[in-house]
Every structure is written in structure tokens, then in C-alpha cells.
Homo-oligomer: A and B are copies of this chain.
Amino acid sequence: MVVMKETASDAEIEAVVERIERVGAKAHVSKGARVTVIGAIGDVETDAAVGALGLEGLPGVDRVVPILKPFKLASLQFRHGEQSVFEIGNAKIGGPYFALIAGPCTVESRDQVLATAEAVKEAGAAMLRGGAYKPRTSPYSFQGLGVEGLALLKEAKERTGLPIVTELMDARDIEPVLEVADVIQIGARNMQNFTLLAEVGRAGRPVLLKRGLAATLEELLMATEYVLKEGNAQVILCERGIRTFENAYRATLDLQAVPVLKELTHLPVVVDPSHAAGRRELVTPMSLAAAAAGADGIIVEVHPKPEEAVCDGPQALRTAEFAAYAEAVRRAAEVAGKVPAGELARAA
């Protein structure tokens, strides 16, 4: 839909029409009292062709208003309004199922991973999270244990049966990650690393894609299309806080994204309250809020001794307090009409 300026001449209107029709769409001119609006009517292919025309650069054009949503495979319409449910190990996520994903920020040691894995399983978590490759703002910070960390996650999985969620930062590391990960996490900073997205699309393993700190929901869904387009239909979206002017916390958790994404897409939507909060005290209230808002799950950081954590200790829940936390989250999810998944279900 092209909105012309009030001062647009007939020739300028004609030039827009001509360019729309040249790529195979039908132009529909609607002259109002003050401005003329030109619609471009066609199928999906001609839509894309019209979008690429750069009509906003033509003389007399005020602006171009896209009418159709630019994402397709991720849209709720693509599945005729039916939400996707993924089975990952013994856990279910999406639709009615609520999944709690918990574990350490970073894999540090065998003791730390196994102690955490057992505590979160006991408390009802559906999956174990843990990072072996860590994207760090500073090159002088700890960058993760790499393949050694992956091996520890594998051991935790064998012990507890919990599916593993772990991050892939570089397409060149995909093979060792695929040996361990039940869900490949793509971090917020890589949300628009398009070649990495295509790579995990081809890998065919479920993906947990975090929203970038300045990404609109539409951009998040377009990034998702890069994965879906390769034939991988299992993407879990994750809200983890956006960047705003407020500096009282690390990021502003945007919980309105939860109900809005669920109107737009069939894919499950989870919330990471740890990174936005940055402090343990805020993680519980924001987890309850996320569950009550209708999230399909929560991914949260837990550590046996947060004071000794290598990374992000202040935001990690304590394993000792995790069962009470999980129970409170379960109650909040029930307010939103959700069914706990995995062990959390059995605990209920």
C-alpha cells in the first residue's frame, strides 16, 4: 500500500502504478479528498517483488505501508490457528504445556553441573540448561569450557534423563554441540547471525532462539523464518529483556511480548527472567509474572553456590531454594491455564 504525498502529481501516481504492474502485481488506485493511496494486489511472490521495489524513493511518495506480515512459516495462520507442541525427551512444550528449563549459566565443573542437574530434576524441571560456549562482552572474561563443558552436560543428561539446552555461537562448532544438545540455543547477540540460523535450520534439532536486545517481534519472527525455511519446524522463541532508557536493571523484561507473539505465531514462547533482572531477588517475581502472562515455559539460571559462580552469580537461584521456586511458578502457570510439563507435572 503506497500513500502518496498531498502534492503528488498525476504523473507521479502513474509512475508508481507502472512500476507495481511491471513486477506482475495489480495496482489499485484510490483517490481520497486529500491523498491518493495505491494498493498492490498479488500473490506472495509479487508481494515480495513489490516490497523490493523501493517505492518510497520515488517522487511524490509519502510512505509505503506493508499490509501483509512478512513472515509465513512461523505465522499462526500457517498452521490454521493451531499451536505447535514439541516433545523433547520426556518433556512437552507449547500449547497447553508449560516447561521449566533450569541450570547453570556456565558449565564450570563436574560437581557443579551434576549437583545442579539433580536439584532441578528433583524440583520438577523439564530440561537442563548450561553453557559451554559463552558470548562475553569482554574478551578478557571467561569464554566457557568448550568441548569439555559439553562432555559434562552429556554426563548430567545420562544421570538425570533431562534433555539438554546449550548454546551454539559459531557454525564451526556445530558437530560437538549436536552430540549433546537436545535443544540448540542461539543467543540474543546472534539473533540476526543469518548464516548460523540457516545452519541450525539444516541441523534439524530443536532451536531456542533468544530475542535480540533491540529486536522487534517482527524481526524475531523473520529470524525464525531463516531456521524454518531450511525445513526445521521446531523453534522455541525466548523473550529475555530489551534495552531501554531505564538503567535500574540490566534489561527491561517485555512480558507483553508473550501474548502478542502467541497471537502471531504457532511456536512456543518462553521467558528468561535471569538476564533482564541481573539479581536473584527479581528473578522470582518476574518468573511468576511470566508464567501468569501465559508463557509456555521459563528458562532460568540455578547454581549450588552462586557466590562462587564464574559468571552471573548474582542472578542465579540457589539449588537449595529451587523446589519452592518451582512450586510457586507452577501455581502461576496454572492461573494462566497451563499444564506443567515433564517432572513438574509429576510433582504436582
Contact = CB atoms under 8 A, between A and B. Distances in A.
A256 B244 contact: no
A262 B138 CA distance: 20
B140 A48 contact: yes
A172 B173 CA distance: 12
Interface string A50-71: 0010101110000001011010
Interface residues of A, number: 107
Contacts of A32: 39, 41, 67
Contact of A279 (B57, B278, B312): B57
Contacts of A309: 54
B255 A54 contact: no
A294 B172 CA distance: 40
Given A255-B289, A259-B281, A68 B34 contact: yes
A140 B47 CA distance: 11
A218 to B, nearest CB: 7
A174 to B, nearest CB: 12
A171 interface: yes
A136 B194 contact: yes
- Per CB-CB distance, the 8 closest pairs between chain A and chain B, nearest first, are A57-B314, A214-B214, A54-B313, A292-B292, A289-B293, A189-B192, A288-B292, A289-B289
18 contacts: A19-B307, A30-B30, A52-B142, A54-B306, A54-B314, A57-B313, A57-B315, A57-B316, A70-B137, A135-B194, A169-B195, A217-B248, A242-B245, A252-B252, A255-B255, A259-B281, A288-B336, A289-B289
